[in-house]
Amino acid sequence: MGVLIQTTALVYVFPSSLGSGASARVGNELGANRPGRAKSAAGVAVALAGLLGFIAMGFAAGVRQRWGRMFTQDGEIVRLTAAALPIVGLCEVGNCPQTVGCGVLRGSARPAHAARINLGAFYLVGMPVAGFMIYIVGTTDWEAQARRAQLLTYGASSELLDQKHDQLEVMEEGKGSFVSDNKESDQEISFQPLIANKILEIER
Protein backbone atom coordinates (compact mmCIF):
# COMPACT_ATOMS: atom_id res chain seq x y z
CA MET A 1 0.00 0.00 0.00
CA GLY A 2 2.82 2.41 0.82
CA VAL A 3 4.38 1.79 -2.58
CA LEU A 4 1.12 2.59 -4.35
CA ILE A 5 0.56 5.75 -2.29
CA GLN A 6 4.03 7.00 -3.15
CA THR A 7 3.41 6.20 -6.82
CA THR A 8 0.08 8.05 -7.01
CA ALA A 9 1.61 11.01 -5.16
CA LEU A 10 4.42 11.14 -7.73
CA VAL A 11 2.05 10.95 -10.70
CA TYR A 12 -0.35 13.53 -9.20
CA VAL A 13 2.37 16.19 -9.25
CA PHE A 14 2.03 16.58 -13.03
CA PRO A 15 -1.75 17.19 -13.40
CA SER A 16 -1.76 19.29 -10.23
CA SER A 17 0.94 21.58 -11.63
CA LEU A 18 -0.80 21.75 -15.00
CA GLY A 19 -4.10 22.56 -13.28
CA SER A 20 -2.52 25.43 -11.34
CA GLY A 21 -0.96 26.81 -14.51
CA ALA A 22 -4.23 26.50 -16.43
CA SER A 23 -6.09 28.28 -13.62
CA ALA A 24 -3.69 31.23 -13.72
CA ARG A 25 -3.64 31.42 -17.53
CA VAL A 26 -7.41 31.25 -17.95
CA GLY A 27 -7.93 33.82 -15.20
CA ASN A 28 -5.42 36.20 -16.77
CA GLU A 29 -6.95 35.88 -20.24
CA LEU A 30 -10.46 36.48 -18.94
CA GLY A 31 -9.27 39.44 -16.91
CA ALA A 32 -7.67 40.90 -20.05
CA ASN A 33 -11.00 40.49 -21.89
CA ARG A 34 -9.63 37.82 -24.25
CA PRO A 35 -12.27 35.06 -24.05
CA GLY A 36 -10.96 33.37 -27.20
CA ARG A 37 -7.51 32.88 -25.72
CA ALA A 38 -9.04 31.74 -22.44
CA LYS A 39 -11.00 29.08 -24.31
CA SER A 40 -7.91 27.99 -26.20
CA ALA A 41 -5.85 27.79 -23.02
CA ALA A 42 -8.54 25.70 -21.34
CA GLY A 43 -8.80 23.36 -24.32
CA VAL A 44 -5.04 22.88 -24.56
CA ALA A 45 -4.77 22.26 -20.82
CA VAL A 46 -7.50 19.62 -20.80
CA ALA A 47 -6.05 17.93 -23.90
CA LEU A 48 -2.61 17.80 -22.29
CA ALA A 49 -4.21 16.42 -19.15
CA GLY A 50 -5.77 13.61 -21.17
CA LEU A 51 -2.39 12.89 -22.74
CA LEU A 52 -0.81 12.89 -19.28
CA GLY A 53 -3.39 10.37 -18.12
CA PHE A 54 -2.51 7.93 -20.91
CA ILE A 55 1.20 8.48 -20.33
CA ALA A 56 0.71 7.71 -16.63
CA MET A 57 -1.22 4.56 -17.52
CA GLY A 58 1.52 3.45 -19.92
CA PHE A 59 4.20 4.24 -17.34
CA ALA A 60 2.44 2.27 -14.61
CA ALA A 61 1.93 -0.72 -16.88
CA GLY A 62 5.45 -0.56 -18.30
CA VAL A 63 7.35 -0.52 -15.01
CA ARG A 64 5.01 -2.75 -12.99
CA GLN A 65 7.54 -5.61 -12.83
CA ARG A 66 10.43 -3.40 -11.70
CA TRP A 67 8.83 -0.55 -9.77
CA GLY A 68 8.28 -2.46 -6.54
CA ARG A 69 11.93 -3.50 -6.36
CA MET A 70 12.90 0.15 -5.93
CA PHE A 71 11.21 0.02 -2.52
CA THR A 72 11.66 -3.56 -1.34
CA GLN A 73 13.07 -6.94 -2.31
CA ASP A 74 10.16 -8.84 -0.77
CA GLY A 75 8.85 -11.05 -3.56
CA GLU A 76 5.24 -11.00 -2.39
CA ILE A 77 5.11 -7.20 -2.16
CA VAL A 78 6.73 -6.89 -5.59
CA ARG A 79 4.15 -9.29 -7.04
CA LEU A 80 1.18 -7.46 -5.50
CA THR A 81 2.57 -4.09 -6.62
CA ALA A 82 2.93 -5.40 -10.18
CA ALA A 83 -0.70 -6.53 -10.11
CA ALA A 84 -2.04 -3.22 -8.75
CA LEU A 85 -0.02 -0.71 -10.79
CA PRO A 86 -2.04 -1.08 -14.03
CA ILE A 87 -5.21 -0.28 -12.05
CA VAL A 88 -3.53 2.80 -10.59
CA GLY A 89 -2.52 3.88 -14.09
CA LEU A 90 -6.06 3.39 -15.37
CA CYS A 91 -7.41 5.63 -12.61
CA GLU A 92 -5.05 8.41 -13.73
CA VAL A 93 -6.73 8.46 -17.17
CA GLY A 94 -9.73 10.07 -15.46
CA ASN A 95 -7.93 11.77 -12.59
CA CYS A 96 -5.62 13.91 -14.74
CA PRO A 97 -8.36 15.63 -16.80
CA GLN A 98 -10.49 16.02 -13.68
CA THR A 99 -7.67 17.76 -11.81
CA VAL A 100 -6.88 20.11 -14.67
CA GLY A 101 -10.57 20.74 -15.35
CA CYS A 102 -10.99 21.88 -11.75
CA GLY A 103 -8.07 24.25 -12.29
CA VAL A 104 -9.80 25.74 -15.35
CA LEU A 105 -13.01 26.21 -13.35
CA ARG A 106 -11.08 27.96 -10.59
CA GLY A 107 -9.51 30.28 -13.17
CA SER A 108 -12.94 31.21 -14.48
CA ALA A 109 -14.19 32.02 -10.95
CA ARG A 110 -16.45 28.94 -10.81
CA PRO A 111 -14.97 26.92 -7.94
CA ALA A 112 -18.47 25.95 -6.82
CA HIS A 113 -18.87 23.77 -9.91
CA ALA A 114 -15.58 22.03 -9.19
CA ALA A 115 -16.62 21.55 -5.57
CA ARG A 116 -19.92 19.93 -6.63
CA ILE A 117 -18.10 17.56 -8.98
CA ASN A 118 -15.65 16.54 -6.28
CA LEU A 119 -18.37 16.19 -3.65
CA GLY A 120 -20.35 14.00 -6.02
CA ALA A 121 -17.33 11.85 -6.80
CA PHE A 122 -16.29 11.45 -3.18
CA TYR A 123 -19.67 11.10 -1.51
CA LEU A 124 -21.90 9.51 -4.17
CA VAL A 125 -19.23 7.07 -5.35
CA GLY A 126 -16.63 7.03 -2.60
CA MET A 127 -18.98 6.73 0.38
CA PRO A 128 -20.71 3.50 -0.78
CA VAL A 129 -17.30 1.97 -1.46
CA ALA A 130 -16.13 3.10 1.98
CA GLY A 131 -19.25 1.57 3.52
CA PHE A 132 -18.47 -1.75 1.87
CA MET A 133 -14.92 -1.52 3.22
CA ILE A 134 -16.26 -0.86 6.74
CA TYR A 135 -18.48 -3.94 6.41
CA ILE A 136 -15.48 -6.09 5.47
CA VAL A 137 -13.49 -4.75 8.43
CA GLY A 138 -16.41 -5.27 10.78
CA THR A 139 -16.90 -8.90 9.78
CA THR A 140 -13.21 -9.82 9.94
CA ASP A 141 -12.24 -12.92 11.91
CA TRP A 142 -9.34 -11.40 13.84
CA GLU A 143 -8.20 -14.69 15.38
CA ALA A 144 -7.82 -16.16 11.91
CA GLN A 145 -5.97 -13.03 10.80
CA ALA A 146 -3.60 -13.34 13.75
CA ARG A 147 -2.79 -16.93 12.79
CA ARG A 148 -2.32 -15.83 9.20
CA ALA A 149 0.01 -13.02 10.32
CA GLN A 150 2.14 -15.55 12.19
CA LEU A 151 2.51 -17.60 9.05
CA LEU A 152 3.19 -14.58 6.84
CA THR A 153 5.85 -13.23 9.19
CA TYR A 154 7.27 -16.68 9.92
CA GLY A 155 6.52 -16.11 13.59
CA ALA A 156 5.51 -19.72 14.12
CA SER A 157 8.61 -21.15 12.45
CA SER A 158 10.91 -20.82 15.46
CA GLU A 159 8.33 -22.37 17.77
CA LEU A 160 7.91 -25.40 15.54
CA LEU A 161 11.65 -25.76 15.12
CA ASP A 162 12.11 -25.71 18.92
CA GLN A 163 9.52 -28.48 19.29
CA LYS A 164 10.66 -30.74 16.48
CA HIS A 165 13.92 -30.54 14.56
CA ASP A 166 12.46 -32.54 11.74
CA GLN A 167 12.86 -31.65 8.14
CA LEU A 168 13.91 -28.59 6.13
CA GLU A 169 13.55 -28.60 2.38
CA VAL A 170 14.47 -25.98 -0.17
CA MET A 171 12.49 -26.36 -3.35
CA GLU A 172 13.78 -25.52 -6.81
CA GLU A 173 11.40 -22.65 -7.41
CA GLY A 174 12.96 -20.66 -4.59
CA LYS A 175 10.73 -21.51 -1.61
CA GLY A 176 11.40 -23.71 1.37
CA SER A 177 9.05 -25.70 3.57
CA PHE A 178 9.23 -26.97 7.12
CA VAL A 179 7.06 -29.97 7.92
CA SER A 180 6.39 -30.95 11.53
CA ASP A 181 5.83 -34.61 12.49
CA ASN A 182 3.28 -33.58 15.09
CA LYS A 183 0.33 -35.90 14.48
CA GLU A 184 -2.25 -33.45 15.79
CA SER A 185 -1.41 -30.60 13.43
CA ASP A 186 -0.20 -31.22 9.93
CA GLN A 187 1.06 -27.70 9.40
CA GLU A 188 3.43 -26.71 6.68
CA ILE A 189 5.07 -23.32 6.81
CA SER A 190 6.63 -21.85 3.73
CA PHE A 191 9.36 -19.26 3.80
CA GLN A 192 12.03 -17.82 1.59
CA PRO A 193 15.46 -19.54 1.58
CA LEU A 194 17.00 -16.49 3.27
CA ILE A 195 14.67 -16.92 6.24
CA ALA A 196 15.39 -20.64 6.32
CA ASN A 197 19.13 -19.99 6.43
CA LYS A 198 18.72 -17.53 9.29
CA ILE A 199 16.75 -20.09 11.29
CA LEU A 200 19.43 -22.70 10.71
CA GLU A 201 22.10 -20.26 11.88
CA ILE A 202 20.16 -19.57 15.07
CA GLU A 203 19.73 -23.29 15.73
CA ARG A 204 23.45 -23.89 15.32
Same domain? For 13 and 63 the reply is yes
Residue 32 lies in a domain: yes
In whole angstroms, what separates CA 191 from the centre of its chain?
A: 25
Handedness of CA 135, 136, 141, 146 (dihedral sign): negative
Q: What angle do CA 175, 171, 74 make, to 5 degrees?
A: 15
**pLDDT tens string 145-170:** 888 888 877 654 555 545 444 443 44
Q: Identify the residue with better confidence: 185 or 83.
A: 83
Residue 126 lies in a domain: no
Residue 7 pLDDT exceeds 80: yes
Same domain? For 101 and 168 the reply is no
**pLDDT tens string 45-66:** 999 999 999 999 998 888 888 8
Residue 176 pLDDT exceeds 60: no
d(CA 122, CA 94): 14
Same domain? For 163 and 67 the reply is no
Structural domain count, the chain: 2
Residue 153 lies in a domain: yes
Largest CA distance in the chain: 85
25 lies in which domain range?
Answer: 2-109
Same domain? For 150 and 80 the reply is no
Residue 76 lies in a domain: yes
Q: What is the pLDDT of residue 172?
A: 40
Q: How many residues does the chain have?
A: 204
Same domain? For 101 and 7 the reply is yes
